[in-house]
């Protein structure tokens, strides 16, 4: 059974906490989901508090919990992964445990996934435009936009975690001789951009420019609002 995308972080949080060495039982996951339901939730703080209380996070590991919570709920939900993969040396939260299990939790969620087809504007093409400034924005946006650390790892010669799978696979091919220890490291991914554009009467003069910007920034998910 596939969970609705909006629910996935609620089940991913205990999974990632377990990978980080927290002892979380399935009962606690159920309590967490029920607890969040009891609280509303009115905002993200409710979810954070419910997780802290129901997963029994000790005070000395609060910072770790906070980092994981942010990674699961804030980064992964609000921003989707876009752009090319790129190696990086960013020191970010590193769950311990099997690398393979982290690979399995690929974060391919997309902003606006809950939007209807009509609301979803991110698929527009710029091919019918000939606007140098907008072209430049589109070209440079990929570099200029902030990036985040992905959960996906890639095998590299020099990383920060041993890639046992690849190392053993190569050793098996060579009758058990380990010629090289492969390592893994995190990828950097571009953050998704959410544009909220006011297209009401007072903004009429700017609306066209804004809409052209939307077309240029095809990495952005866009919503417009205004008086009817």
Partner 1 sequence: MAVSPNIAGITDPEGLKKALIDAQYLADDALATATYLGLALGKPLLLEGAPGVGKTEAAKALGGVLGRSVIRLQCFEGIDAAAALYEWNYPQQMLAIRQAVEGHVNLYSDDYLLERPLLQALRNPSGTLLLIDEIDRSDHEFEAFLLEFLSDFTISIPETGTVRATQAPVVVLTSNRTRDLHEALRRRCVYHWIDYPDAALEAQIVMTRASSVARGTAAAVVASVGLLRAEPLAKPPGVAETVEWAETATLLNQQGARWPEAFMRSIGVALKDHDDLIYMSDRLSAILRGEAV
Contact 6, 21 (CB under 8 A): no
Q: Is 38 in the site for partner 1 (CB under 8 A)?
A: yes
Q: Which is nearer to partner 1, 40 or 176 (CB)?
A: 40
DSSP three-state, residue 136: helix
Among 2, 4, 43, 59, binds partner 1 (CB under 8 A): 59
Q: Tell me how far, at minimum, the Cβ of 102 lies from partner 1, in Å.
A: 23
**44-54 vs 62-69: helix axis angle to the nearest 10?**
140
Q: Which is nearer to partner 1, 47 or 216 (CB)?
A: 47
Q: Is 53 in the site for partner 1 (CB under 8 A)?
A: yes
Contact 221, 193 (CB under 8 A): yes
In sequence order, the 6+-apart residues with CB closer than 8 A to the CB of 17 are 24, 55, 65, 68
Among 3, 5, 11, 58, binds partner 1 (CB under 8 A): 58
Total interface residues for partner 1 by CB under 8 A: 22
User: Which of these segments, 51-59, 72-80, 138-146, 179-187, binds partner 1 (CB under 8 A)?
Assistant: 51-59
Nearest to 94 by CA among 158, 166, 22, 16: 16
The residues of the shown chain that bind partner 1, judged by CB under 8 A, are 23-25, 27-28, 31, 34-35, 38-39, 46, 49-50, 52-59, 62
């Amino acid at each position: 059974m596939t969970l609705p995308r909006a629910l996935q972080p609620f089940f991913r949080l205990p999974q990632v906490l377990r990978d980080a060495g927290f002892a979380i039982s399935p009962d606690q996951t159920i309590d967490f989901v029920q607890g969040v339901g009891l609280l509303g939730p009115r905002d993200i703080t409710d979810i954070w508090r419910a997780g802290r209380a129901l997963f029994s996070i000790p005070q000395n590991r609060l910072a770790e919990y906070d980092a994981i919570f942010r990674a699961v709920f804030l980064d992964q939900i609000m921003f989707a992964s876009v752009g090319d993969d790129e190696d990086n040396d960013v020191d970010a939260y590193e769950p311990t445990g099997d690398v393979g299990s982290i690979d399995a939790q690929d974060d391919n969620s997309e902003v606006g996934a809950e939007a209807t087809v009509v609301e979803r504007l991110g698929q527009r093409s710029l091919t019918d435009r000939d606007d140098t400034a907008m072209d430049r924005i589109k070209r440079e946006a990929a570099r200029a936009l902030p990036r985040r650390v992905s959960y996906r790892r890639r095998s590299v010669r020099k990383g920060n975690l041993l890639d046992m799978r690849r190392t053993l696979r190569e050793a098996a091919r060579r009758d058990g001789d380990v010629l090289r220890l492969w390592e893994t490291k995190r990828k950097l991914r571009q953050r998704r951009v959410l544009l909220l554009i006011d297209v009401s009467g007072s903004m009429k003069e700017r609306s066209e420019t804004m809409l052209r910007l939307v077309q240029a920034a095809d990495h952005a998910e866009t919503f417009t609002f205004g008086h009817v």
